[in-house]
Amino acid sequence: MHGIILRELKKYVEATLGKPAWTELLEAAGFAGKVYLPVSEYPDAELFALVGHASAKSGVPADELLQGFGEFIVPDLVQIYRSSIAPAWATLDLLEHTEKVIHHAVRMRDSTASPPKLAVVRSDPRSVEITYSSERKLCAVAKGIVRGVAHHYGERVEIVEATCMHQGAPVCLIQVTKLG
């Protein structure tokens, strides 16, 4: 897991559960005093342990927490990758170009980074279908990011997950339709 994700998780936990919550989660997960550097890689199990403890502490199901996290990180991601985002883009455009523009840039900057693989097809002018594939199975974060991107552009979207890796499917198929 790339350190930037864990750094963003810390920000999310502090914003939603309070500043002391991060230290409490680190202790509960057995990582007391650990500092996550944004340019380093960490075991995926650390993210899942922290999310599990955050879910237990907050009473929010892990899937819902991960979606909220995905939505929360969009402003920072947009800022980090702003040079790769065309000014004329809106929600569906950014989603359509994420794999070949942003994920490509991520992999170029850090050969050890492994963002999910996305195949995005523009079904029609108002919708895209995202085929999400990742060993991490963090499709909940992807759905949250979709909502965050729509919020960033002041748009509303409907998200329907037709298949999910958590239900045994080989990939997640996420249909995003612009409303209004």
Cα distances (angstroms) measured from residue 39 to each of 1, 29, 35, 63, 155: 10, 22, 12, 26, 32
pLDDT-based confidence at 38, cuts 50/70/90?
A: confident
Residue 132 sits in the same domain as residue 171: yes
- Same domain? For 23 and 51 the reply is yes
Do 46 and 79 lie in a common domain? no
Whether residues 172 and 125 share a domain: the answer is yes
Are 87 and 23 contained in the same domain? no
- 50 plus 139 within the same structural domain: no
Per the CB < 8 A criterion, the answer to whether 12 and 55 are in contact is: no
Nearest to 133 by CA among 174, 92, 100: 174
Number of domains in the chain: 2
CA gap 157, 153 in Å, rounded: 11
Task: Out of 38, 60, 82, pick the residue that ends a domain.
Answer: 60
Strand order of the sheet with strand 156-163? 117-124, 127-133, 172-179, 156-163
* Whole-angstrom distance, CA of residue 107 vs CA of residue 104: 5
Stated pTM of the model? 0.92
Q: pLDDT tens across 108-167, in order?
A: 666 666 778 899 999 899 999 999 999 999 999 999 999 999 999 999 999 999 999 999
Does 125 lie in the same domain as 71? yes
Both 76 and 135 in one domain: the answer is yes
Q: Residue 121: give its domain's CATH number.
A: 3.90.1520.10
Calpha distance 104→4 (Å, rounded): 16
Instruction: Identify the domain boundary among 36, 60, 84.
Output: 60
Question: Is the domain of 91 the same as that of 127?
Answer: yes
pLDDT score, position 135: 93
C-alpha count within 13 angstroms, C-beta hemisphere, residue 150:
20
- What is the pLDDT, as a whole number, of residue 99? 82
Q: Is the pLDDT of residue 63 over 90?
A: yes
Residues 6+ apart with CB under 8 A from 160: 174, 175, 177
78 in the same domain as 53 = no
Structure tokens at 161: 């997950």
Give the residue numbers spanning the domain of 40: 3-60
